[in-house]
Amino acid sequence: MDEFDHAQQQEQAFRDKAIAHQLKQPSETPYEDEDGYRYCLDCGQDIPLKRIKALPHVVRCVSCQDKKERSYG
C-alpha cells in the first residue's frame, strides 16, 4: 500500500467516525421565545440574527459552538 492509499483510508476513517458521532447526538431544538429571538442552548445568550440567517438551524452562539467543536478534537 502506498502513501496515498494510506492517506485515503485515514481520511475515510475520520469521516466515518465523524458521521457516527453526529448520528449518536440527540437532536437539538433551538430555544425561541414568542418574539422569535433564539437563545444558545449552552449559555442562554441570544443568538444574533445575522448568524441565524447564515445558519438557519444554528442552536449555539459562536463562542459555545467553538467550545463544542474543540471538545471533539
Parent domain of 53: 3-72
Number of helices and strands in the chain (H, E):
3, 2
Grid cell in block for residue 13: 476513517
How high is the mean pLDDT in each 10-residue block of the chain (73 residues)? Answer: 87 84 66 85 92 91 93 70
Rounded CA separation 28/49 (Å): 19
Strand partners, 31: 39
Number of domains in the chain: 1
pLDDT at 27: 63
pLDDT at 29: 75
Is the pTM value of this prediction over 0.85?
no
